[in-house]
């Protein structure tokens, strides 16, 4: 029987109810803070963007950010929101100064939406505006006004102060990872020369913009000095290293467009065309861009992004009366990069040698790659190494936001996950024994080794990281010494040959409980000794304690508790001051005296503690 469709079927939601009911429309995914684009960081970014826009308009040279447990505060020293409009700016949709293009011509934030989303999705939200010797303060909870204070005198400098606590009912089990916030602050500083940011007392400041960004993010010395080119509404920086893959940082109006967009596509094309024209040789694009590290920042009037989280630019034009993004970027790069290479023959010689080296390596393994592709295609038809998920059975290229793949070792572990998984979004790839230690090996091994060849084919990353089929690549191994070793071998493989998977935040470690504590009424799964002690206290004398040593020991029925909405994942993060080459040499190279000494010293520490 069809339900009635009448006046009672039509519902009108308050603004905060709509945001809370459909948060993904406003901030993308929710998450628990383990990924850099999870909702709690988007909330911080929405507040920051308003402060950054003030700086871009020439107001305020300092922004202070603090994160303490769940509380986040942001204080800028811009003009301050007009006091009479503070309530509207914080709680009325489609209200803000960003609609006045003369005031905020090339802004990031949409003051009509972003700050309201933060308000609605916070259990506590406070906003203050300091303006010309007066201050006004308003408190909210879940977007609902709780208290509005009268305007009173103040001796504090102009600006805006926002404090919020993300709602645990929306962002379940969340936690902030400082590395992600630090990276956000650094990017803001690189894009806004002269701006000082403070995060929990740590200071960030840049004088040379994108040049500083590339030098900060280089894992080793680049092959030639960073090429730094600046123009009206555009800035680029380019260099090459010795790592595999391509590494790009792209920005629009100060927004880190992690998924690129029209400007990055144009940038990559322009680099290839300019270099081909300069050397008068039809180099393969992959050889030109191999090992490249580059950044581009452009400013666009009224930018169009493909989502509220603004991670991918969709704009085709620079502005209503301006050129296309493609032509704007191409013309700048072709002129300025060509001039630079002509004026710096030492750099152009090094670059040419790097391109030719990449060309030789590509041709040397072309035959092996062809055979490897055939083996992978044939194996995929009848092996059971990959149990794919439904969102990808008919698609080999589109990255799905909620898709993931578990890399497991052994039939029992892969069997438990396979029986428990969500077949729509979770795939399983089963390794046969321990993988090879790839440290120091050439990329030829990726195609010669059957396990790595099939894994690469399953992920669909041979041609481009943009073709990655799963948003999360999850290493799922036992919580013992062998499991830890397999983790290291897999992380080494990705860092050695596909570092973008780590840099772009796709690689995770799956955390399973170490203990199960239960009595006749309650069952607790514990990930640490502290949790185990607490669970034993709750269960009392009747507590039954089980220590899980391997994934295969956990029944499929229990596994469903660990790979659903409450899944615990630890992201694999490369800290910016760490050299991947040095780190791999230390942990995965031949036994060094330093590593032996470290192990021996720490073994003695353990002995002393007992």
Are 24 and 65 contained in the same domain? yes
Domain count, the chain: 5
Q: Is the pLDDT of residue 609 over 50?
A: no
Name the residue among 521, 214, 240 with its Cα closest to residue 354.
240
Tens digit of each residue's pLDDT (9 = 90 or more) over 433-445 = 788 888 888 888 8
Tens digit of each residue's pLDDT (9 = 90 or more) over 31-74 = 888 888 888 998 999 899 889 888 888 888 999 999 987 899 99
Name the residue among 313, 312, 338, 310 with its Cα closest to residue 324.
313
pLDDT of 499 reads 85
Name the residue among 544, 546, 528 with its Cα closest to residue 536.
544
Three-state DSSP at 433 gives coil
Cβ-Cβ contacts under 8 Å for 534 (sequence gap 6 or more): 526
pLDDT of 5 reads 45
- Per-state percent for the chain, helix, strand, coil, to nearest 5: 40, 20, 35
Q: List beta partners, residue 510.
A: 569
Are 147 and 54 contained in the same domain? yes
Residue 180, class by beta-carbon neighbours within 10 Å (0-12 exposed, 13-18 middle, 19+ buried)?
Answer: buried
Domain with 610, as residue range(s), is 581-610
Tens digit of each residue's pLDDT (9 = 90 or more) over 346-356 = 999 999 999 99
Are 240 and 200 contained in the same domain? no
**CA angle, 189 then 192 then 196, to 5°:** 50
Tokens of residue 333, six digits: 């790069």
Calpha distance 394→514 (Å, rounded): 37
Are 235 and 350 contained in the same domain? yes
Calpha distance 552→430 (Å, rounded): 13
Higher-confidence residue of 585 and 569: namely 569
Q: Is there a domain that residue 1 lies in?
A: no
Calpha distance 406→581 (Å, rounded): 26
Task: Yes or no: say if 16 and 297 are a contact pair by the CB < 8 Å rule.
Answer: no
Task: Yes or no: say if 475 and 501 are a contact pair by the CB < 8 Å rule.
Answer: no
Q: Rounded mean pLDDT of the chain?
A: 83
CA 366 to chain centre: 32
Q: Where are the alpha helices (DSSP H) in 396-555?
A: 411-420, 444-448, 450-459, 481-497, 499-503, 529-539
The residue among 205, 222, 243 that closes a domain is 205
Tens digit of each residue's pLDDT (9 = 90 or more) over 223-237 = 999 999 999 889 999
Q: Other C-beta atoms within 10 Å of 444: how many?
A: 14
Residue 218, domain CATH: 3.30.230.10
Tens digit of each residue's pLDDT (9 = 90 or more) over 307-324 = 655 677 776 777 767 788
Are 434 and 564 contained in the same domain? yes
The residue among 330, 364, 398 that closes a domain is 364
Are 138 and 234 contained in the same domain? no
Name the residue among 401, 367, 399 with its Cα closest to residue 465.
399
Task: Yes or no: say if 73 and 163 are a contact pair by the CB < 8 Å rule.
Answer: yes
The residue among 364, 390, 412 that closes a domain is 364
Tokens of residue 467, six digits: 């073709």
pLDDT of 353 reads 94
pLDDT of 578 reads 58
- The whole-number average pLDDT for the span 485-498 is 90
Cβ-Cβ contacts under 8 Å for 459 (sequence gap 6 or more): 405, 468, 469, 470, 473, 501
Calpha distance 249→213 (Å, rounded): 9
Are 496 and 529 contained in the same domain? no
Are 302 and 406 contained in the same domain? no
Q: Is the pLDDT of residue 269 over 90?
A: yes
């Amino acid at each position: 029987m069809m339900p009635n469709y009448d006046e009672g079927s039509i519902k009108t939601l308050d603004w905060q109810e709509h945001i809370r009911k459909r948060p993904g429309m406003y901030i993308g995914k929710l998450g628990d803070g383990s990924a850099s684009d999870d909702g709690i960081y988007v909330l911080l970014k929405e507040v920051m963007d308003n402060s950054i826009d003030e700086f871009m308009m020439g107001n305020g040279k300092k922004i202070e950010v603090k994160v303490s447990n769940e509380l986040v505060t942001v204080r800028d020293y811009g003009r301050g929101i007009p006091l009479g409009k503070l309530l509207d700016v914080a709680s009325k949709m489609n209200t803000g100064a960003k609609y006045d293009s003369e005031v905020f011509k090339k802004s990031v934030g949409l003051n009509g939406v972003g700050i309201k989303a933060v308000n609605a999705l916070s259990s506590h939200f406070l906003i203050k505006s300091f303006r010309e010797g007066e201050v006004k303060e308003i408190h909210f909870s879940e977007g609902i006004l709780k208290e509005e204070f009268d305007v009173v005198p103040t001796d504090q400098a102009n600006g805006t102060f926002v404090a919020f606590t993300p709602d645990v009912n929306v962002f379940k089990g969340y936690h902030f990872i400082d590395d992600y916030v630090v990276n956000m602050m650094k990017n803001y500083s690189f894009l806004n020369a002269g701006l000082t940011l403070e995060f929990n007392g740590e200071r960030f400041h840049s004088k040379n913009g994108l040049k500083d960004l590339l030098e900060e993010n280089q894992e080793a010395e680049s092959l030639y000095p960073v090429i730094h080119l600046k123009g009206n509404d555009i800035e680029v920086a380019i260099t090459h290293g010795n790592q595999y893959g391509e590494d790009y940082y792209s920005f629009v109006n100060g927004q880190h467009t992690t998924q690129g967009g029209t400007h990055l596509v144009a940038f990559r094309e322009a680099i290839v065309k300019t270099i081909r024209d300069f050397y008068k040789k039809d180099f393969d694009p992959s050889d030109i861009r191999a090992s490249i590290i580059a950044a581009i920042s452009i400013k666009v009037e009224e930018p169009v992004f493909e989502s509220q989280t603004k991670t991918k630019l969709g704009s085709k034009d620079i502005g209503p009366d301006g050129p296309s993004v493609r032509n704007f970027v191409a013309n700048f790069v072709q002129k300025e990069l060509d001039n630079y290479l002509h004026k710096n023959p030492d750099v152009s010689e090094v670059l040419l040698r790097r391109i030719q080296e990449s060309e030789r390596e590509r041709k040397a393994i072309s035959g092996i790659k062809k055979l490897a592709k055939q083996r992978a295609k044939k194996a995929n038809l009848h092996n059971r190494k990959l149990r794919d998920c439904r969102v990808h059975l008919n698609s080999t290229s589109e990255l799905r936001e909620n898709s993931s793949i578990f890399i497991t070792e052994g039939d029992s572990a892969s069997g438990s996950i396979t029986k428990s998984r969500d077949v729509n979004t979770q795939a399983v790839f089963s390794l046969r024994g321990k993988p090879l230690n790839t440290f120091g090996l050439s990329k030829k091994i990726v195609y010669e080794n059957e396990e790595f060849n099939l894994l690469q084919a399953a992920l669909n990353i041979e041609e481009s990281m943009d073709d990655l089929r799963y948003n999360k690549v999850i290493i799922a191994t036992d919580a013992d010494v062998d499991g830890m070793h397999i983790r290291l071998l897999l992380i080494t493989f990705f860092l050695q040959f596909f570092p973008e998977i780590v840099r772009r935040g796709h690689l995770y470690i799956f955390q399973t409980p170490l203990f199960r504590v239960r009595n006749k009424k309650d069952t607790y799964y514990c990930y640490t000794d502290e949790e185990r002690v607490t669970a034993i206290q709750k269960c009392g004398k009747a507590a039954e304690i089980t220590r899980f040593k391997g994934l295969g020991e956990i029944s499929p029925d229990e596994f469903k508790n660990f790979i659903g909405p409450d899944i615990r994942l630890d992201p694999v993060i490369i800290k910016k001051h760490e050299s991947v080459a040095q780190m791999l040499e230390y942990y995965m190279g031949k036994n060094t005296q330093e590593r032996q000494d470290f192990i021996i010293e720490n073994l003695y520490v353990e002995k002393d503690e007992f």
